[in-house]
Each structure stands twice: as structure tokens, then as C-alpha cells.
Amino acid sequence: MASQSALINVMQKASIAASRGLLRDFGEVENLQVSRKGPADFVSRADINAERTIRRELAKARPDWGFQMEEGGVIEGADKSAPVWVIDPLDGTTNFLHGIPHFAISIAVMETDSQGRRSITAGTVFDPVKNEFFFAERGQGAFLNGRRLRVSGRRHMADALFGTGIPFLGHGSDDDHATFLKQLGNVMAVSSGVRRNGAAALDLAWIAAGRIDGFWEKGLSLWDIAAGLLLVREAGGFVSDFASRDKALESGEVVAANPAIHGELMKILRR
Ligand code: IPD
Ligand code: CA
């Protein structure tokens, strides 16, 4: 078991505080399915409340830092060099709305160097239903509930299981939808299978944990992937955009996998 740093403790405390409300609201969603208005407004309120709780907890611990949040947008830190919290209070919103118990709270720390380059230096992904807390700090490895993580050792596409995100109505252009279908056809024909679990932060955390061997998705936002990309890297995985560049964070295009599979997955996606 690894001991957690003070910073990870702060992130965990904020995640747990927000998860209490989320779990309570998740229990209500089932009852709301039958109401005429539907649960969508309720879920968006749950999302906003979770973000407020996280923000309050983090600001208490690091008053000078900035924020970049899915719901609340950008809040500048005390100065330009201050680290920024990148927050997705509820990744897997559609699952939550449908009563599917697979969602997470994702928090990352983003720092900017003197050349203006941004990088993620700490990240946590908390799945409150399974009580799984994934965390990583740059150069310190990735962990799940204190146990060190390592990406899978599977080397062959035929044994590999992939995660992905399927574009949907209002998410991605017609061209993106067509490209995705081609990519899916290519990967499913040569692999052990493809899953669409519905929470990108957890897809990435699950690569770090060796549960799935690779993942691809386009059109993701910074808060979906900031913590997850660090988890994959710190567990020994590779991350790139669709053109093999180190630009996943900036472009929202992610190809992530264990090192043995990443190159092959890139080739297959491009066919
Ligand atoms: C979504 C999830 C989903 C991914 C979407 C994201 P949200 O985030 O991560 O898996 O396919 O692209 O927008 O809306 O549930 O926070
Ligand atoms: Ca998200």
C-alpha cells in the first residue's frame, strides 16, 4: 500500500464529499423515470451541486488556485502561474440519467510552465458505486485504493479488449459518425471485443488498471480526460491523438493503450 500525498488527500476528500450527494440523487433517479418532466433537470442539478461541493473543498485547501470546470467554466487563479483544478463532477451523465451505476468524479491539477506549455501533474478518478479511487501524480505511479497499477501485458490484438466512445445525436459531425463506424469495424474484426461503457474518465482509469487494453474516442473535453490520461501514463501506457502526436489533451482525440498494443491500434484505426 502506498501512502497518499497531502494533495491527493485533498482531492479524495473533495471527491467523497461530492459523491454523497450524487449517490443520494442517483437513488432518486429511478423514481423520477416515470415523472412527466423526466429526470434530466434533476440530474443537471445533481451535477451542479456536486461541482459546487468539489469547488468549495478544493478552494478551502488551495485558495490561490484556478478552476476549469465542466459546469462553472473558468475561474482564474491568484496569478498566471497558479495551478488550475480541472473538474468533471459527473462523468457518465447519460448512465446516471438512465439509472446505470457507472459514473465518476474526475479531478486533475494542470500546471503551466514558463514557455506556456500545460501539463497534468496530478489526477484522481473516483467511482463511488464501486468505491474505487484511482489516483496518480506525475513521476509517482498510478494507484487504485492504494494499490499500484500497471497496464495490461496483453500483446496481441486477438486477446485485447477495447473501450471506446460512440458519437451520438448532437455529438460529432456526420463525417465523424461515418469514420467511427469504419474504425469500429476495423477493431472489432481483429480483437476480443469493444465496450462502450459511457464514462471516458473510467475508460482511461481501467486501462491503467489493466482491465481493458486500449481506448479511442474523439471530441472529448479537457475535464473528461485530464486525470485519466495521467493515470494511463503513470501505469506505463501510451497516449496520443489520432495522428500519433502527443496532443491528446489539446485536441480531445485520444488513442490510449498498453505499449505493446498502441502502435497496432493506431494502424488499425487508420485503415
Ligand atoms: C461523456 C462521457 C462519455 C463520452 C462523452 C463525454 P459526460 O461525459 O465521458 O463516455 O463518450 O464524449 O462527453 O457528459 O458524461 O460528463
Ligand atoms: Ca465527462
CA atoms lying within 13 Å on the CB side of residue 154: 23
Q: Tell whether ligand 1 has an atom less than 6 A from the beta carbon of residue 237.
A: no
Nearest atom, ligand 1, residue 165 CA: 11
**Is the distance from CB of 189 to CB of 228 less than 8 angstroms?**
no
Tell me what the mean pLDDT of segment 245-259 comes to: 97
Residues 29 and 117 in one domain: yes
Residues 140 and 167 in one domain: no
Q: What is the pLDDT of residue 217?
A: 98
Residue 74, domain member (yes or no): yes
Last residue of a domain, one of 127, 148, 169: 148
**Is the distance from CB of 172 to CB of 183 less than 8 angstroms?**
no
Tell me what the mean pLDDT of segment 160-178 comes to: 94
Q: What is the pLDDT of residue 41?
A: 83
> What is the C-alpha R_g of the chain?
18
How far apart are the CA of 241 and the centre of ligand 2, in A? Answer: 18
CB atoms within 10 A of CB 247: 14
How far apart are the CA of 108 and the centre of ligand 1, in A? Answer: 16
Distance of CA 26 to the CA centre of its chain: 20
Residue 251, domain member (yes or no): yes
Q: What is the pLDDT of residue 209?
A: 98
How far apart are the CA of 2 and the centre of ligand 1, in A? Answer: 30
Residue numbers of the domain that contains 73: 6-148
Q: Which residue lies with its CA nearest to atom 12 of ligand 1? A: 220
Q: What is the pLDDT of residue 1?
A: 57
Pairing of strands 238-240, 132-137: unpaired
Residues 163 and 128 in one domain: no
Residue 16, domain member (yes or no): yes
Length of the chain: 271
Residues 261 and 165 in one domain: yes
Residue type, 1: M
Residues 142 and 15 in one domain: yes
Residue 44 is part of a domain; what is its CATH number?
A: 3.30.540.10
Residues 77 and 184 in one domain: no
Tell me what the mean pLDDT of segment 163-181 comes to: 94
Angstrom distance (rounded) from CA 63 to CA 77: 8
| Per-residue pLDDT tens over the stretch 6-60 | 999 999 999 999 999 999 999 988 777 655 556 788 888 899 999 999 999 999 9
Judge whether residue 190 has pLDDT over 90: yes
Tell me what the mean pLDDT of segment 73-90 comes to: 95
Nearest C-alpha neighbor of 143 from the set 195, 208, 94: 208
Judge whether residue 191 has pLDDT over 90: yes
> Number of structural domains, the chain?
2
Q: Tell whether ligand 1 has an atom less than 6 A from the beta carbon of residue 234.
A: no
Residues 207 and 262 in one domain: yes
| Per-residue pLDDT tens over the stretch 96-138 | 999 999 999 999 999 999 888 899 999 999 999 999 999 999 9
**Is the distance from CB of 125 to CB of 145 less than 8 angstroms?**
no
Residues 169 and 77 in one domain: no
Model pTM? 0.96
Residues 125 and 220 in one domain: no
Grid cell at residue 39: 429526470
Q: What is the pLDDT of residue 48?
A: 94
Residues 140 and 11 in one domain: yes
Last residue of a domain, one of 120, 148, 176: 148
CA torsion 219-224-97-21 (nearest 10°) is -160
Angstrom distance (rounded) from CA 151 to CA 257: 8
Tell me what the mean pLDDT of segment 152-161 comes to: 98
